[in-house]
Structures are given as C-alpha cells and as structure tokens.
Amino acid sequence: MVGIAAWGAYVPRLRLSRKAAASANAWIAPGLMGKAKGERSMANWDEDALTMAVEAARDVLGPDDDRSHVRGLWFASSTAPFSDRLNAGIISAALTLDRAAASADVSGSQRCGLTALAQGLNAVKAGAVSCGLVTVGEHRRARAASTQELDFGDGAAAFMLAEKDLVAEFLGHGSCTADFVDHFRGADAEFDYHWEERWIRDEGIVKLVPPAVEAALKKAGLGSDQVTHFCFPSTFGGMAATLAKRLGIPASAVRDNLAGVMGEAGAAHGPVLLAHALDEARPGDIILVAQFGQGAEALIFRVTDRIDQARPARGVVGSLADRKEETNYLKFLFFNGLVEWDRGMRAEKDNKTALTTLYRNEDQILGLVGGKCRETGVVQYPRTRISVAPNAFAVDTQDPYRFAERKASVTTYSADFLTYSMSPPNHYGTIDFEGGGRIFMDITDVEQGDVDTGLPVKMVFRLKETDEKRGFRRYYWKAAPDRAARTQPAALAAE
Amino acid sequence: MAAGIRDKVAILGMGCSKFGERWDAGPEDLMVEAYLEAMQDAGIEPTQLDAAWFSTHIDEVGTGKGGTPMSLALRLPNIAVTRVENFCAGGSEAFRGAVYAVASGAADIAIALGVEKLKDTGYGGLPTGQAGTLLPQVSPNGSAPGNFAQLASAYRAKHGVSRDDLKRAIAHVSVKSHANGAKNPKAHLQKPVTEEQVLNAPMIAEPLGLFDCCGVSDGAAAAIVTTPEIARSLGKRNLTTVKALQLAVSNGMESQYNGWDGSYFHTARIAASKAYREAGIERPREQISMMEVHDCFSVTELVTMEDLHISAEGQGWKDVMNGFYDADGQIPCQIDGGLKCFGHPIGASGLRMLYEMYLQLQGRAGERQLSNPVFGMTHNLGGSPSTNVCSVAIVGQEGA
C-alpha cells in the first residue's frame, strides 16, 4: 500500500480584507461590493509560488534537517517563477535534498497540483521512488478591480508519499482530459482571460468532473456514499455541493472551500483542501479530492490510525490561525506589481546575479548551510577553509552544518527608512542561533515596533531581489518572528 | 615588540578644503585647495616631495581609481603616488603610508592627501553598493545608518539603558558637535541645534534620526610629513610629532562568531590599547587632551568613548550627558564639529581629524582653540560595527 506519510501547508500571514479592496474599487466596479465579505490570503512582497511551496514542504519535513530519505520531488504550480530553470531544483537546494533524488516541475493547468500528487503516488507504487515529496504553491495575479482579485488567494500544500507509516492510504485515482477552455493565460501573458461562468459550470465542471471521480471510486472499490470528506475547489458558490448531489456524495461530506478565510489558491487549492481535510480527519475517514482544469483529476484516500501522531506543526489550520488583517488595498497592488510607483534613486541599483557565484555557493545561499569545526566545535556561517574560532587557526576542519531549522533570536537590529525597500522600514540585524552561529540578515513579516533584541525568530525562504531587467529572481533566507516561541525578552523587562 | 613610531616623524604642514555641498568644485578643485594650503604651511616646493599617498573611497562617483587623479590634479613631479582605500578610514591610511615612508628613510618629505566628491549622485546620503558578487546575494539591502543603528539595540540590551535615555544621550552627542561646528568656518554645517530638534527629527534608521547622522560632504585634506630634524632645518619650531599609528581589522569574530554582543567595536579596543602603548600613555582619561573620533552616527561616538578606554564600559552615555566631552569638558571631542558638522568626505576624513589636532597643537585653531593641548587622538573607522577597519592615531607636542 502507498499513500501519504505526512502533510504540511503554508498560507501567507497577510489577509487582505475584501471589504477594503471592494470599497476602494466600488467607484468603478460597484458589483464587487457583493463580494465584500471575509478575507483572502496575500503573499508578502518577498513571497511567490516557489517560496510558499518551500515553506509547505518544510512543514511536512519537520525540524529534522536530515532529508536523505526523500528520493523524488515534484513541484506543481501554474505560477512558477521560471519557465526555463528547474523550479524544483531551487526547492531541492533550499531543502538540502540529496542531489541524486529525482525532481520535476508540473504545470499547465489548475489541476496540476493533483496531477503531481498522482504522479508521485504512482512512482512510489511502481517502486521507482521509495519516498516522494510533492509540493504545490500558487501566487496568482489578477487585474485590479477584477472579481478574480477578490476570489483568489495565495498558498501552498505539500505531502510526503511513501509505502509505510501512512496517515492516508491511496485508494484510487481518476482522470479526465478535455480541451475545455474556461480560462487561459498565454505563455507571455500577465493575466488570465475568462469565459462565461454559466457555461463553465454547466458544460464544464458538471460534465467533466464526475467521470474522473467515478473512475477513482471504481478503482478504490468504494461507493460515493462512503466518502466522508469531499474536497473540491471552485470560486463558484455551491459548486462542490452541486457536484456532490449529482455524484451521490453525502451533503455532510462537502468541505468548506476556505473561500471566506483565504480565497482560492489556484493549482494549490485542491492540495490545500486535502491538507485541511487531513488536519481534521479521524481514522477510517474517506477523503475524495478533485480539481477541475481541462478535464479533472480525482484522488481517494483512507485515513489511518497514525493520523494523530503525524500532524504537522502548522498545517492548514495553523496557517489560517496565524493571520494579520491587511486593510490597505494599495499595499496589495504594490506587492503584486500592479502600480508603477516612485521607488527613488536608491532602487536603481543593478540586481544582476553572478550565476557562477550562485552555483559555487549553492548550499550557503539556497540551503543556508554553514560549517561546524571538527576540532573546536565552533559553528559558523558561512563555511570557510580557516575556522573563525578566535586564534584557533584550524584549517579544513569544517563539516557542513544546516541552519534553516534551528531556533534563533535577534541580537542587534535596526528599522531602516533610508534604504530602498518594498515594505519600509527595512528590518535587518544580527541573528544568533541556538547551538551557535550567527548571520546578519533581513527580517521579514514585521512592522515597525515588532522587533527588539531577544525576539525569537525562525528562518524563512524568501525572494531577496528581483532583477527586472533580466527576469531573474534571487532567493535567500530571512528571519521572521517565531510567534509560537515568543516570550518576553529579559532585556526588555528593565524598561 | 616593535619600537613604534613615537616622535620619529613630524608634521611639516597641513591643509583642508572647505567641506560641504561643493556644487562649485570637482574633486580636482578640492585636492588643489587642500594641497596649496598644506604646501604653503610647509614652506616647500613641489620638487621637494619624495612620495605621495592618495586616499579616495568611492571611485565610481569620485575621482577614479589609481594614483593618477592626484598626480594629474596637483601636477606632481612624477613621484610615486600610492592610492589607498580602507572604507572610511582611508585618510588615516594615506597618513600612515606617508609617515612610514619617512620613518623608514625611503623618503625625506612625503604627502598624504584624501578627497571625496559625494554630491554628484543626485540624492542625499551615501551612494549605495555592495562588494563583489556573493554579498549582494546574501547581505541585507541596508544602509550605513541602518548598520550603525544596530549598536543602539545591542547597547540598550547589554547595559539596561532605556530607549529614552539612550536617545537623549545620543542627541547630546549631536548637540555638542553642532555647537562646535558653529565655530568652524570650514565646516559643512555651522548651525547650532537644540536637543528638542534632534529628538524630533525624522527617523532615518531606528533609533537614529536625521541629526544623529553625519553630513555627506565634498572635501579634501592633506598632510606633509618629514623627520623632526628636517623640519627643524626648514625653520620649524614647536613640532607636532606622530606618537602612535594603529590599525585593527575585523577577521570575522564579530560577524560570524557568537563571542561579540554587537554593542561595541572590537577593533577599536585593540587599536586604542596598542596606540596608548606606542605613545607611552598609561592613563588616557587624564592624559589625552582632545579627540576627533569617527562620529559617522551619534551612537558610534557614544560607544567609541568606551572602546577608547576613556569612559568605563556601560558608562559612556553618562559621561556624554555630564558634558565630559563638550568643548568645556575634560576631554573635548569633535572640537571642529566632527564628521557630524565638519562633514564626511570619506577619503579625506582621517586627515581632516588630524588637521584639527594639528591646528590645536600649533595654537592656530582660532575661536575653537583649547588651552595647552599636549596629546590629540584621532579615531577613524571604516566599514560597519560587525566588519570594519579601525585606525587610532595620536599626535602631540614633540617630547611629550
């Protein structure tokens, strides 16, 4: 039997108030006020489909930074940052996966997240990969004042696939392919182009999803009445309930599609809903997840007794709980590149990346790997031939040492209003790690007043800079408040 | 241990251009201004110069690389010109090179000149830029004030100083320097400010406001050095001699090793201790007459008072508040206005500091003249608190 051994998720902390967004655009699109309810997740300026996928994968993998068991990696997204550079390769480096592990990008439609999941499960089932990691992230863009802007959300989910220690057994997969163009985005286009909603619903979803679901049920040897969780993302109200009724799935099994609290995260949303179902599942539950996109993909799982032992640190439930409302719609526009704003002369610097340097220092930059001296035990970043331990002069004594999963805290910081930043003031400082080592780095997901000496932080994988001239994105690690670990720093008690 | 530089080299003459937003002057004009004053002060002809050391930092917007900009601007008689660059401490490096050349006997008379033309960038503050191809991929997109502001958070945490107390102490640093700069006709900023103005200024990088940051200025400064014997043979009396020249450079201990807490300059402590030893100074708090320190930001000056072993650790902010470093205090600091008000044309700053110490020791500081100074100390820092070069020089009356 193959299936899911662990799962994880990531939803960016910022949540755009739909009321704020709809109100700002009501002068030109008064109809949007009908959608002015709840909130949608909103990637920070330094997050994209890839960074969110890394965070979801880290939620799956947990604090143990030995990732040698992962033998295959699938990254799925319809908004991957690179068209021709293996996005999964960046993720593999960030997660410090074994270079011998296979990796692939899966793209092309809104159902590609589930396609990647099916491919991963089939690879494990075929014995080609002993342990596979599927991670799906999506950061969809939409035009200002469009309904999509309010409907969409950003997020990611990830799954560890294996043959043993399963939390959910894979029972069956069904697929349906038809060139039904509900919307499309050309290779060079910035935004989607949509056809009429009623046609998509009645001629598309209602006719193309059931064959995939029925095929999956048949393979699983289950009746539709046995499904206890039905996950189906759609921005159309009541769509999952309509399908359930047509398929004979109990109405009680239809799961909330999280439209009110995060919006629809495109290709990642089926996986997000599956992760959310796992968050809340009980042993024996039957989970059916399906997603539409030039046909449909459907997968069925049975939850095992291990479900309670394998819950991720965050999951979807934890991600949704860690939220900050954003009522400044303009900030959303800036972060998504939807306005041309005055960045000042300091933003004029050339962000050309030396690719030779990037590759030579791949584990340092993308993996946040430093060194530990075999002689002195001193931990340092970066790894260097001569140890930094004062007056020790140990040469070539350092073993690779991973920092990304270590707990850390702020030793020095400033909030800089002078330097160019997408979200001023730019916070950065000296971060010290438990177990030794320190890195002078950016601090993200904070506002003025959030940071002080002693603040517990965790490492997050983020966009460092975009080279707009050449279309390159630089990724690196940043410190973000470890809000779960936050305690009153002793140094502040004196004030 | 080496015998050191004490009293082996004398200052023959010095010059310094007017600092400020010199819209009227290019780097060549600034060099000529400082050079002519120094040559006139030394009373020598260009043909008497044996060698030159030239300091400039940001060659992209300033003078360009190499030794040629100085030689071309000053029409030097085809002598050796060595360009030095050590972040903001280049001026002290040029001086060190010239002094060592004289002390070695390789040159009888040598000149050190520093220049920086910063106001051709189109915006306020220092030009931005990161070194090499690796740092831009990992270092925060920071600024000089943001880097130095880090001292404040660490200092507060270490010594239990409240935000308000530290903010007031660093405000006093700036108020004092503005009062001094108001008496200096060559200073970039010559207007006194109140503590209230400093405290309420726009924030640049927490907790540093506008008045906590030094001026970004155009300017040049120069020193001509020789042996005491040659100086006397040229008719000079009451010589100002070099007592100590030290430079300490970070090796990663601060930035990559957990032993440093971020609240002080490791290099400054080392350079200061070595400089006192070289100069034969045992009780700096009593013996140092005056100082010019690298007050790029008010908080830098505050912690430097401790790093130079003048104020006890954790007590510097109290000495500042008590006026110990004011013009009428025990050790006047930044009597010429400092980087804060005289200005900070990067490559020239170390020499500008020495210029004021020299004027004071020669009794030529005009309205700012202190009574009977014996030892003047300069502290010239380049880089950031965690990765820097720190130069400490002591000059004084010959024989002291």
The per-residue pLDDT for range A66-121, each reduced to its tens digit, is 999 999 999 999 999 999 999 999 999 999 999 999 999 999 999 999 999 999 99
Residues A411 and A429 sit within 8 Å (Cβ to Cβ):
yes
Residue A490 pLDDT greater than 50, yes or no: no
Residues of A in contact with B202 (CB under 8 A): 417
**What number is the average pLDDT over the span B291-306?**
98
Distance from CA of B287 to the nearest CA of A (A): 32
User: pTM of this prediction?
Assistant: 0.95
| CA–CA distance, B235 with B285 (Å, rounded to integer) | 34
Angle A11-A14-A20 (CA atoms, 0-180°, nearest 5)?
130
Query: Is A246 strand, coil or helix?
Result: helix
A148 close to A21: Cβ distance less than 8 angstroms: no
Which of B88, B214, B296, B341 is flagged as catalytic?
Answer: B88
How much is the average pLDDT of A155-177?
98
Q: Which residue of B has its CA nearest to A465?
A: B137
Model ipTM?
0.94
Query: Which own/partner contact pairs does A380-389 have at CB distance under 8 Å and 24+ positions apart?
Result: A380/A436, A380/A437, A380/B252, A380/B256, A380/B257, A381/A437, A381/A438, A381/A439, A381/B256, A382/B256, A384/B252, A388/B251, A388/B252, A388/B253, A388/B256, A388/B257, A389/B257
Q: Active site includes B88?
A: yes
pLDDT tens sequence across A309-333: 999 999 999 999 999 999 999 999 9
- For an interface test with B, give the residue of A412, A438, A444, A465 to mutate (most B CBs within 10 A): A412
Contact B128 A346 (CB under 8 A): yes
Structure tokens at B249: 């450079």
Check: CB of residue A278 under 8 Å from CB of residue A229.
Answer: no
The answer, for A5 touching chain B at a CB cutoff of 8 Å, is no
For residue A486, the model assigns a pLDDT of 54
Instruction: Report the percentage of chain B scoring pLDDT > 70.
Output: 99
Helices (H), chain B: 27-42, 68-74, 90-104, 135-138, 144-159, 163-181, 195-199, 228-233, 253-256, 266-279, 284-287, 298-307, 316-321, 338-341, 349-361
CA-based nearest distance A456→chain B, Å: 15
From chain A, the residues in CB contact with B298 under 8 A are none
Closest residue to B386, CB basis, from A410, A417, A430: A430
Contacts of B77 (CB under 8 A, 6+ apart): B46, B47, B49
pLDDT recorded at residue A493: 36
A1-19 pLDDT, tens digit per residue, is 999 999 999 999 999 999 9
Q: Do A429 and B153 touch (CB under 8 A)?
A: yes
Q: What is the pLDDT of residues A253-304, one digit of tens each?
A: 999 999 999 999 999 999 999 999 999 999 999 999 999 999 999 999 999 9
pLDDT score of B190: 97
B262, A349: Cβ pair inside 8 Å? no
Average pLDDT of the residues of chain A: 96
The phi and psi torsions of B296 (rounded to 5 degrees) equal: -55, -35
The share of chain B scoring above pLDDT 90, in percent, equals: 94
**Pairing mode, strands A286-292 and A229-231:** parallel
The verdict on A444 touching B (C-beta cutoff 8 Å) is no
What pLDDT does residue B126 have?
83
What length does chain B have?
Answer: 400
pLDDT bracket for residue B60 (50, 70, 90): confident
The 8-class DSSP code of residue B147 comes to H
Task: Tell me the per-residue pLDDT of A449-488, one tens digit each, with 9 for 90 and over.
Answer: 999 999 999 999 999 999 999 999 999 999 999 998 754 4
* A416 closest CB neighbour out of B129, B146, B160: B146
Supply the pLDDT for residue B176.
Answer: 98
Q: What are the φ/ψ torsions at residue A482 (nearest 5 degrees)?
A: -90, 85
Own/partner long-range contacts of A140-144 (Cβ < 8 Å, ≥24 apart): A140/A78, A140/A79, A140/A192, A140/A265, A140/A266, A141/A79, A141/A190, A141/A191, A141/A336, A141/A337, A141/A338, A142/A191, A142/A192, A143/A191, A143/A338, A144/A25, A144/A333, A144/A338
| Mean pLDDT, residues A40-59 | 98
Minimum mean pLDDT range among A168-182, B61-75, B94-108, B125-139: B125-139
Task: Tell me the average pLDDT across B192-218.
Answer: 97
Nearest to B143 among A382, A412, A418 (CB): A418
Helix (H, G, I), strand (E, B) or coil at A141: coil
> Amino acid identity, residue B126?
L
Residue A437 forms contact with B (CB below 8 Å): yes
Does residue A430 sit at the B interface (CB-CB below 8 Å)? yes
Q: Which residues contact B191 (CB under 8 A, 6 or more apart)?
A: B178, B181, B182
With beta carbons less than 8 A apart as the criterion, state whether B127 and B60 touch.
Answer: yes
